[in-house]
Amino acid sequence: MLCCVSLIPLSLFAAPFALAQNTAPAPAPAKQGTLPASPATSAKGARAKPPVAAHAITHVDVGAHRSDFAFPSAQHEPDATTHLSAELLRNRDVTTLRGLERVAPNLTMQSINGTASTNFYLRGAGFNDFTQNNMPPVLTYMDDVAYAYPAMSNGLMFDLADAAVDPGPVGTRHGQSTTGGEVRLRTNDPTTTWHYGGMEDIASYARSRSEAYVSGPLAKGWSFRLAGQTRQGGGWQYNPTNGAHLGDADLWALRGKLRWQPNDRTTIQLGGHFVQDDSEVVTAVPVHRLIGSQALPGFGLGRQAEWSMRPEFAKLVGRGAGLKPSEHNQYWGVDLRLIHDFGPATFTAISAFETERQGEYTDQDGTALSQADTYRTIDANVFTQEARLNGAALHGRLNWVVGAYYQRSRMNQRFFFDYTDYTARGYMMATSFGMDQESVSEFGNVSYRLPHNVTIWAGLLHELDDRGITGLTSQIFGGTTRSFSPESTAANQFAGQAGVSWQFVPQAMLYYKMSKGFKPGGFSANNTQVQAQLDPFKPETVLTYELGLKSDPVPGRLRLNGAAFYNDFHNQQVIGTVLIPNYGPLSEITNAPKSQSWGFEATLEAHPFGHLFLMQNIGWQRGDFQNFPNVDRAATNAYYAAHNQWKAIERNFRGVDNGSPKLTLNGDATWRQPLPTGYRLDFGPDWQYRGSQAITVGGTGFYRLPPYFLLGAHATLHSPSQLWDITVYGRNLLDRRYAESGGMATTTYFYIPGEPRFIGGRIACHF
């Protein structure tokens, strides 16, 4: 079944499109089989123009009769990608990956247990990787480098040029295959003239963010860019029993790029970054006691919270007494890229090495008791190598790309648990394991533009993936230590895409495509008690059908893009439940043999009159399991509550909703008011809505996160020279109490509360 997007009938567009054909020149037809933008090539694979100065801002004449929207060339690309400018990201205060859900449709990005690690859900595709050792369904790219583990991108969202959210299966044109899509972040590149600047942002709860950059030439053909940021304060949680404060940021990051252009056809660039994150995290608020009779704090989703750290546990993990829920993370990486234009084709090679060293403490029971206090250490590195060749022929009618991708990762993790106040256990324990992974893929894509502005394209990817988990031990301190046999899993899969687009008038395009996506299997390795918990889950595949429209019916005044999709999943990777006898239910990543989802997303941009600019994203999706036998956690918990005995209640979740938010909305309205002597004031509201989301399969009641609506606002004064601007902003102006994410500890179910009202201001200068 293909759910069609509710778009305005084409006949209603006919008149403005006909008028547009007489008033605006027709753009060149878009090329298919394109690549993401790289430092020396445009999105079409051609030689890029010289770098734009970092402080350059497109001038908008608010008194003119028309004002073009951003990313006009993307309107001729047959995809549902949401393109985000650096200006939009600043206006909406998007400074972390999680903030992207405020500016893109059908996207949900959530913290894992309140930490800096993030889970992605795009069009309902995604899962809660609480062990953080598996490839996500939605990949993050930073300057064309794929991050196999999302945490590696923490602290790097500064000095951005733009971003893009691309839903659906990907991998036939660049990078790595996956089923849910990708988030691409692009940072500013070195410039051939000197530029420097900075930004200072101060907000509620003593939060501050500082950024600075410098960029310019070093010698003939050589240029560089150095940028950095710091984050401090902002903690808004407190413990009413002792007045302790929680949540302050403590992060700094540096990024550098060195570029050499020996001639106008060759670019060699070396990049590197370093992040140190010692921030405190948002701690859990328990909403239901599963085991035990102790009363819950009853704080609701406000600013109040409880947490604990026993000195014995702090000593065990090697941290100081009184440790608060927090990060102790270090990330660094280097990348080298070579781009050479041969004329008929452009060659691109990207080598990257990324590392993460994490030490992360969370109080998952959300009480002053030590019933599920967790400290996790991660030591991981990833090496990737990509090489691709893309070109055009037949006067641009034929476009093609071929390439290969290699990835190797190494990871060691250790989980420490303090169950001292959990009477059924009453001990401290640790689970340790190592994981090795290696994959290689080859990909290709070709497109051809037929007469009447019809373009057809097809792509194919083949991937081999091999991964194994070794050395897993489960140690009870003062008790027994159990060792488990190693496990491995391998996959040999194909993915691909085929489609057709029709630029039926210069300002509108229809497209249809079918895509098969592939994502390798992996392991759950959290609190392992029996060997069966290490059985690998299978690879996930999806067949996606997508129908879309991109249109500018009134150029510069009205833009409407939309896409409808249907996903046919096989062995979809989801969080299920396993019951360990005499121990309790545990979460594990497993496979739903058959499932489906469908829906649409649309973006409306309007400049109806004068100085008013509007933007609205809407995402709607539904999905269910067609075959998924698993433990019914709610029924199993209910049986325990009635009989004080664990018994697995099995059921097939056939026909049960997949639990993803059905409706997501976000948008803003801006009034651009010219002022005397060349100043300009931009101001207006912004908003976000997310529907209810299940935290367990088939969850109802407290097993679901409630829906929420957030209102914000911003006002920016621009200088006549565009060299500085001053902004005041507010987030969650209504001070709504809401849950960002949720989960289960040993004795409680908990929510992670979202931020309260934040009022802030910033000043930015560019020279």
Residue 531 — very low, low, confident or very high, per pLDDT cuts 50/70/90?
confident
Backbone phi and psi for residue 78, each to the nearest 5 degrees, phi listed first: -80, 80
Please provide the size of the chain in residues.
767
Whether the full predicted model's pTM is greater than 0.85, yes or no, is yes
Distances from the Cα of 84 to the Cαs of 44, 54, 90, 163, 366, in angstroms? 18, 17, 10, 5, 37
11: three-class secondary structure by DSSP = helix
Which of 11-25, 117-131, 556-570 has maximum average pLDDT?
Answer: 556-570
Which residues share a beta bridge with 712?
686
CA distance 355 to 37: 24
Question: How many C-beta atoms lie closer than 10 Å to residue 587's C-beta?
Answer: 19
* Tokens found for residue 724: 């500085």
HSE-CB of 366 using CA atoms within 13 angstroms: 33
What are the strands, taking DSSP E only, across 477-583?
A: 481-483, 487-505, 508-519, 540-554, 558-580
Q: What is the DSSP letter of 206?
A: T
Going by DSSP bridges, is the β-strand pair 138-142/181-187 parallel, antiparallel, or unpaired? parallel
Residue 223 lies in a domain: yes
CA distance 463 to 5: 33
Whether pLDDT at 32 is above 70: no
Pick from 727, 724, 732: which is nearest to 761 by CA?
Answer: 727
Mean pLDDT of the chain: 89
Q: Which residues contact 146 (CB under 8 A, 6 or more apart)?
A: 139, 140, 175, 176, 182, 384, 407
Q: What pLDDT, on the 0 to 100 scale, is given for residue 190? A: 97
Residue 24 — very low, low, confident or very high, per pLDDT cuts 50/70/90?
very low
Residue 294 lies in a domain: no
Span 433-491, pLDDT tens digits: 999 999 999 999 999 999 999 999 999 999 999 999 999 999 999 999 999 999 999 99
Which residues share a beta bridge with 97?
none
Span 348-367, pLDDT tens digits: 999 999 999 999 999 989 99
Q: Identify the CATH number of the domain in which residue 193 sits.
A: 2.40.170.20
Pick from 147, 177, 181, 180: which is nearest to 403 by CA?
Answer: 177
Cβ contact 556:606 at 8 Å: no
Q: Which domain, by its residues, includes 528?
A: 10-289+304-766
CA distance 596 to 626: 7
HSE-CB of 180 using CA atoms within 13 angstroms: 25
Cβ contact 2:567 at 8 Å: no
Residue 15 — very low, low, confident or very high, per pLDDT cuts 50/70/90?
very low
Residue 613 lies in a domain: yes
Residue 657 lies in a domain: yes
CA distance 498 to 446: 10
Three-class SS string for 353-394?
EEEEEEEEEEECCCCCCCCCEEEEEEEEEEEEEEEEEEEEEC
Residue 182 — very low, low, confident or very high, per pLDDT cuts 50/70/90?
very high
CA distance 548 to 376: 44
Cβ contact 546:168 at 8 Å: yes
Q: Which residues contact 355 (CB under 8 A, 6 or more apart)?
A: 152, 331, 332, 333, 380, 381, 382
Residue 3 lies in a domain: no
CA distance 673 to 667: 20
* Tokens found for residue 148: 């196999």
Q: What angle do CA 648, 650, 655 make, to 5 degrees?
A: 145
pLDDT (average), residues 625-643: 90
As a whole number of Å, the end-to-end CA separation of the chain is: 55
Pick from 16, 162, 29, 78: which is nearest to 559 by CA?
Answer: 16
CA distance 17 to 583: 66
CA distance 188 to 270: 14
CA distance 497 to 511: 13
Residue 758 lies in a domain: yes
Tally of domains in the chain = 1
Q: What pLDDT, on the 0 to 100 scale, is given for residue 322? A: 87
Q: What pLDDT, on the 0 to 100 scale, is given for residue 363? A: 93
Whether pLDDT at 686 is above 60: yes
pLDDT (average), residues 708-712: 97
Residue 40 lies in a domain: yes
Residue 298 lies in a domain: no
Cβ contact 141:187 at 8 Å: no
